[in-house]
Amino acid sequence: MCKKCKNFYVTTPIYYVNGDPHVGTAYTTIAADVMNRYRKSMGDDTYFLTGTDEHGQKVEQTAKQKGYSSQDWTDHMVPNFKNMWSALNIKYDDFIRTTEERHKLAVKKILNVVYEKGDIYKGEYEGKYCISCETFFPENQLNGSNKCPDCGKELSLVKEESYFFKMSKYADMLLEHIEKNPDFILPHSRRNEVIAFIKQGLQDLSISRNTFSWGIPIDFAPGHITYVWFDALTNYMTAVGYENNLEMFDKRWNKSRVVHLIGKDILRFHAIIWPCMLLSAGEKLPDSIVAHGWWTSEGEKMSKSRNNVVDPYKEIEKYGVDAFRYYLLREASFGSDGDYSTKSVITRLNSDLSNDLGNLLNRTLGMYKKYFSSIIVAGGQDEEIDKEIKNLFEEILKEVDEHMYLFEYSKALESIWKFISRLNKYIDETMPWILAKDEDKKQRLATVMNILSESLYKIAFMVSPFMPISAKKIFEQLGFDIEVENMRIDEVKDWNKFTEGHKLGEASPIFPRIEIEKEEVVVKKELKVENPIDIKEFNKVEIKVVEILNVDKVEGADKLLKFKVFDGEFERQIISGIAKYYPDFKKLIGTKVMAVLNLKFTKLKGELSQGMLLTTEDKNGVKLVFIDKDIQAGAVIK
Ligand code: ME8
């Protein structure tokens, strides 16, 4: 692991061009930008890549629907991404498009290397495919359903000649790598999910398609194009010279800390398929794959039909770019899901930015102006409380660095705000307004005011990766003209910036308070049924009340619980993946819940499952659907 590596390479997923960027894609891109700026400020030699994923059936279909050729459609969509990233103040080093020549050559190269290695063979693929997720689903992941387990959309049946990548061959090597490299998958909580998936047994991967043409042709397989994920994942190497600049590749891939930031939806592609491809190609694996959680909007899944997709342009118009960036990274901890709601945005921004940081700046500059006409005056010896502030700063720097190493943005900001709160308290404790009344205490007053001013300088530095524009404004109000992108940690460690005679700037509010009643809290929604079914279809599902007779863990499967239930006639065994939500699962014995009883029986982790317990899920987690105890087991739910 390249923990001390001074070269840092961060990537976002390359986004599909079938739709416009939105708050979800903005989130990952902002997170990557913040991390890139942070590492640069710590003295690293950084590289930041984003881009667009332009091939595949989904893009081809969208282009057709819109009346464009595939290439014209992608050309038409790319500026939407670039413009949004520019509006969000994203400073990437490269923007890759998978239709570029350099990428096509890189994909050809890796395919040929893997083929030469003997890891690709010809076969036939017959099975289900989700066009929306561009994913093949073997039957054992579907339990007889024809819906995509990830996005819920209808699956297509694919039957075609295909070339397969021997992914199964690399399962053990990958497991060993994951075990030996604890930071390979971050946050750590996501590691087990990947390990469990690999341990279920990896299947070889179909990596070519021959029933449509929007993709990269394969040299050794005439008539076939590359499976879009095999194509897309390679982008991370293309951009750093895999095919055309070996010197760059050595520096930016082999000798860098390589980090892929992604959403949890595409963790398996990055933590399983991609490393297996690299193992086969004989290349270094990325150092960390960091999967963040999912954003909902006002408590609901974001979707066009619900008309509740958060549009970053509107948000930055209302609150400003920096506030938007800050909110996203502060509100949800990076691995967890977050809910974007107008109320929480306003509450968060008013409390953290206007009250805590804004007030500290205004109070400090206001007092300096009042007591010393905004000209820095030399202070005296530090007292205990001043030393405490200085020590706290050292601690905070360390804390922030530890959190940022693990991509814990929210915790890093929390640490910075601990410093801000302490300083607000420091003002109350040192009471400059009292010191100002006493001529003999002028030097003490200057010491206190200098600690405050210099702390603000340090705060501006610490928040600059998150809020570069505001950081620059804080510096300006402190009397410094600084390019925040060029600032490095060594310049802020010491307490020596505010020398006698330095003139502070003018105070003006950087984070104005947002009045909640003025803000329109209107989310336009239209009542629409997304996948209508008729009553006959509904009646096919047998849902009944069952009584839980016993519950146990399933050996070797952390997530699963094994229920013995009574359905009014028979005892059944039902396996349910809810162990995490019921640590005291024995308490469930005797309760009555809802279950679907006419699902095909299936085996999970070798255990027979004769039905499915119904659950609900919201931001607090998953819960069984409990039924009044007076209702008998076997009662039909209709
Ligand atoms: O998957 N909350 O592209 P994509 C948080 N092309 N993040 C979200 C989100 C939400 N509601 N919605 C989307 C692809 N995202 C492939 C990637 S990489 C080699 C190929 C973000 O356009 C999140 O980062 O569907 C997620 O992983 C990504 O958008 C998916 O973007």
pLDDT of the residue at 1: 40
| Mean model confidence pLDDT for the chain | 94
Element at 511 (helix H, strand E): none
Report the candidate in 359, 319, 357, 361 with the shortest Cα–Cα distance to residue 340.
Answer: 319
Report the separation in Å between the CA atom of 262 and the middle of ligand 1, taken as the mean of its atom positions. Answer: 7
Report the separation in Å between the CA atom of 271 and the middle of ligand 1, taken as the mean of its atom positions. Answer: 15
Cβ atoms of 547 and 590 closer than 8 Å: yes
Q: Annotate 238-253 with DSSP letters as a single string.
A: HTTTTTT-HHHHIIII
Q: Annotate 149-187 with DSSP letters as a single string.
A: TTT-PBPEEEEEEEEEE-GGGGHHHHHHHHHH-TTSEES
Report the separation in Å between the CA atom of 16 and the middle of ligand 1, taken as the mean of its atom positions. Answer: 8
Euclidean distance between the first and the last CA atom of the chain, given in angstroms as a whole number: 56
Report the separation in Å between the CA atom of 15 and the middle of ligand 1, taken as the mean of its atom positions. Answer: 6
List pLDDT tens digits, range 194-250: 999 999 999 999 999 998 999 999 999 999 999 999 999 999 999 999 999 999 999
- Written as six digits, the tokens of 142 are 């579907």
pLDDT of the residue at 617: 87
Report the separation in Å between the CA atom of 352 and the middle of ligand 1, taken as the mean of its atom positions. Answer: 29
List pLDDT tens digits, range 381-400: 999 999 999 999 999 999 99
Tell me the average pLDDT across 561-569: 95
Q: Is 16 in the pocket of ligand 1 (CB under 6 A)?
A: yes
Tell me which of 35, 226, 262 to substitute to probe ligand 1's pocket, judged by most ligand atoms within 8 Å of the beta carbon: 262
Tell me the average pLDDT across 92-116: 98
- Written as six digits, the tokens of 516 are 């909640």
* Number of helices followed by number of strands (H, E) in the chain: 21, 25
pLDDT of the residue at 3: 57
Q: Is 14 in the pocket of ligand 1 (CB under 6 A)?
A: yes
**Please, which pLDDT band fits residue 496 given cuts at 50, 70 and 90?**
confident
Atom number in ligand 1 closest to CA 18: 22
pLDDT of the residue at 384: 98
List pLDDT tens digits, range 361-377: 999 999 999 999 999 99
Share of the chain above pLDDT 90, in %: 85
Report the separation in Å between the CA atom of 24 and the middle of ligand 1, taken as the mean of its atom positions. Answer: 7
- Written as six digits, the tokens of 10 are 């961060």
Report the separation in Å between the CA atom of 563 and the middle of ligand 1, taken as the mean of its atom positions. Answer: 36
List pLDDT tens digits, range 411-427: 999 999 999 999 999 99
pLDDT of the residue at 524: 46
Distance CA 91, CA 94 (A): 9
Q: Is 238 in the pocket of ligand 1 (CB under 6 A)?
A: no
Tell me the average pLDDT across 76-91: 98
Distance CA 267, CA 264 (A): 5
Cβ atoms of 49 and 93 closer than 8 Å: yes
Atom number in ligand 1 closest to CA 16: 22
Cβ atoms of 393 and 458 closer than 8 Å: yes
Give the up-direction half-sphere exposure of residue 333: CA atoms within 13 A in the CB hemisphere.
11
Q: Is 59 in the pocket of ligand 1 (CB under 6 A)?
A: no
Q: SS3 for 57-90, per residue?
A: HHHHHHHHHHCCCHHHHHHHHHHHHHHHHHHCCC
Residue nearest to atom 19 of ligand 1 (CA): 233
Q: Is 53 in the pocket of ligand 1 (CB under 6 A)?
A: yes
Lowest-confidence region among 19-33, 167-181, 297-311: 297-311
Residue environment code for 141-177, b if the CB has 16+ CB neighbours within 10 A, otherwise e: bbeeeeebeeeeeebeebeeebbbbbbebbbeebeee
